[in-house]
């Protein structure tokens, strides 16, 4: 008899949701995490009364009512609506690409004028494609929004974020962004979105309530010991590391955050400002209080906390944030996946173990589907 039904490696959203559902099903779980805190990348630290998203801005969004009801049963969510602003050489544009952006870019005021302008902007790309599906991010972006928006709002930002030419990146990355001919700056098309009231730690605390957890524990420091502790393992770390990198190393992008406490109540007037030109070294600047304080509520707290995000290639010792789903890495991942399928006692799940550009809601959906 082993001590636990499940050993869950990683206390991020995948591991924590799994632990919650397994506990409900009467299973005994142990969750371990190598970090000094629980919650993985959604962890927040309270600084000056503000919940600071330590691993990058996180906005929960979904159209799946089951997922939305589930997370709200753990903690109530607020009405935050993400509406980032892009700063290109000092000029501001609304995101995602909508009538406000088209007005700011070209002065067009009606959907008909905007559609005609985009058609004109796309003409060269259409000719170039000649009916062929877009093969990379550049081709896809030019077909979606045309030349001006690609050059001012996409190219520089994307190449900073991914450290690769837009021609070497998969087309799907840019299809994440909506393009719409209405005046609507909501970054997402989903039915539901928000931030947990009181911050993401409340969500993690709720999911892990009553579950045994251990932090500062790296599974690989004593893999044999940990494998003996439970009948089944849920592994949410890096899949290539699980197999000791024996087929080669997968590549990741990482982000370095430069955090600053500033003695003003309202620094940039918005949670997210993207700097889309190549010359500004960071991709975006986050002002955390706007996730949970709306309108003039921001003035109730005299200080503010901002983080500038610098995107770089991942190296051992850094946090692996984004899988790089280009052809080379996807092919290598498929080989690791075949090995994983042979490990009948181990469930590989989450952003790192499935090497997938997962948002939070699909993670929850996946785990709910497993039970
Ligand atoms: P993680 O949160 O990475 O958790 C994995 C955990 O496993 C970590 O705590 C890690 O320490 C632990 N671990 C790894 N290896 C070991 C080991 N050997 N031993 C012990 N523990 C280990 N999603 C959205 O829906 N909206 C957003 O706005 C959004 N913004 C994002 C911004 C950034 C910068 C990033 C990087 C991601 C963003 N996401 C967003 C995605 C979101 O972070 C993920 O979907 C979610 O956090 C993934 O959860 P996870 O459990 O798979 O991984
Ligand atoms: N993107 C862009 N300009 C922007 C914002 C996003 O070109 O101002 C592109 C970029 O390639 C990015 C992709 O759109 O990788 C998806 O953006 P999203 O905001 O969804 O990325 P994430 O939140 O995962 O960082």
Q: Is the CB of 32 under 6 A from ligand 1?
A: yes
Confidence (pLDDT) at 332? 98
Which pTM was predicted? 0.95
CA distances from 315 to 112, 216, 312, 321, 355 (A): 48, 20, 9, 11, 16
Question: Tens of pLDDT along the chain (371 residues)?
Answer: 789 999 999 999 999 999 999 999 999 999 999 999 999 999 999 999 999 999 999 999 999 999 999 999 999 999 999 999 999 999 999 999 999 999 999 999 999 999 999 999 999 999 988 999 999 999 999 999 999 999 999 999 999 999 999 999 999 999 989 999 999 999 999 999 999 999 999 999 999 999 999 999 999 999 999 999 999 999 999 999 999 999 999 999 899 999 999 999 999 999 999 999 999 999 999 999 999 999 999 999 999 999 999 999 899 889 999 898 888 999 999 999 999 999 999 999 999 999 998 999 999 999 999 99
Set 48, 180, 277, 321: catalytic member: 180
Is the CB of residue 255 less than 8 Å from the CB of residue 56? yes
CA 259 – CA 321 distance, rounded (Å): 18
Q: Is the CB of 278 under 6 A from ligand 2?
A: no
Task: Decide the pairing of beta strands 91-94 and 85-88.
Answer: antiparallel
Q: Is the CB of 360 under 6 A from ligand 1?
A: yes
Confidence (pLDDT) at 325? 82
What would the two tokens of residue 84 be?
């980032």
DSSP 325-339: -SHHHHHHHHHHHHH
Confidence (pLDDT) at 324? 87
Set 253, 275, 336, 351: catalytic member: 253
Angle at 143 between CA 180 and CA 127, to 5 degrees: 140
Is the CB of residue 284 less than 8 Å from the CB of residue 309? yes
What would the two tokens of residue 206 be?
């709720």
Whether the CA torsion 100, 104, 109, 113 is positive or negative: it is: negative
Confidence (pLDDT) at 316? 87
Is the CB of residue 74 less than 8 Å from the CB of residue 252? no
Q: Is the CB of 15 under 6 A from ligand 1?
A: yes
CA 39 – CA 52 distance, rounded (Å): 13
Residue 256 is a catalytic residue: no
Residue 6 is a catalytic residue: no
Q: How many CB atoms lie within 10 A of CB 189?
A: 12
Confidence (pLDDT) at 280? 98
């Amino acid at each position: 008899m082993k001590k636990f039904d499940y050993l869950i490696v990683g206390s991020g959203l995948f591991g924590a949701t799994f632990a919650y559902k397994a506990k409900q099903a009467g299973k005994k779980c142990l969750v371990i995490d190598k970090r000094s805190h629980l919650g993985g990348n959604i962890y927040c630290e309270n600084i000056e009364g503000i919940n600071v998203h330590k691993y990058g801005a996180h906005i929960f969004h979904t159209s799946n009512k089951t997922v939305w009801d589930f997370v709200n049963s753990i903690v109530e969510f607020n009405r935050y609506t993400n509406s980032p602003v892009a700063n290109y050489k000092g000029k501001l544009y609304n995101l995602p690409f909508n009538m406000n952006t088209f007005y700011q870019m070209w002065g067009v005021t009606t959907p008909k004028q905007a559609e005609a302008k985009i058609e004109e902007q796309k003409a060269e790309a259409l000719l170039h494609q000649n009916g062929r599906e877009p093969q990379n991010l550049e081709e896809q972006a030019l077909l979606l929004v045309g030349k001006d928006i690609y050059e001012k709002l996409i190219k520089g930002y994307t190449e900073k974020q991914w450290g690769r030419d837009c021609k070497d990146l998969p087309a799907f990355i840019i299809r994440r962004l909506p393009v719409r001919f209405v005046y609507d700056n909501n970054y997402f098309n989903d039915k539901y979105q928000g931030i947990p009231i009181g911050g993401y730690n409340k969500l993690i605390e709720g999911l892990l309530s009553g579950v045994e957890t251990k932090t500062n524990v790296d599974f690989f420091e004593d893999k044999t010991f940990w494998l003996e502790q439970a009948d089944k393992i849920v592994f949410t770390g890096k899949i290539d590391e699980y197999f000791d990198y024996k087929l080669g190393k997968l590549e990741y992008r990482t982000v370095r955050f430069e955090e600053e406490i500033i003695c003003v109540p309202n620094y940039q007037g918005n949670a997210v400002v993207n700097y889309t030109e190549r010359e500004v070294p960071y991709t975006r600047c986050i002002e955390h209080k706007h996730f949970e304080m709306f309108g003039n509520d921001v003035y109730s707290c005299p200080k503010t906390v901002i983080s500038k995000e610098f995107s770089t290639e991942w190296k051992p010792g850094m946090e692996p944030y984004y899988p790089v789903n280009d052809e080379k890495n996807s092919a290598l991942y498929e080989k690791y996946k075949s090995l994983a399928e042979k490990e009948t006692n181990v469930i590989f799940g989450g952003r790192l173990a499935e090497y997938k550009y997962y948002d939070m809601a699909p993670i929850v959906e996946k785990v709910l589907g497993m039970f």
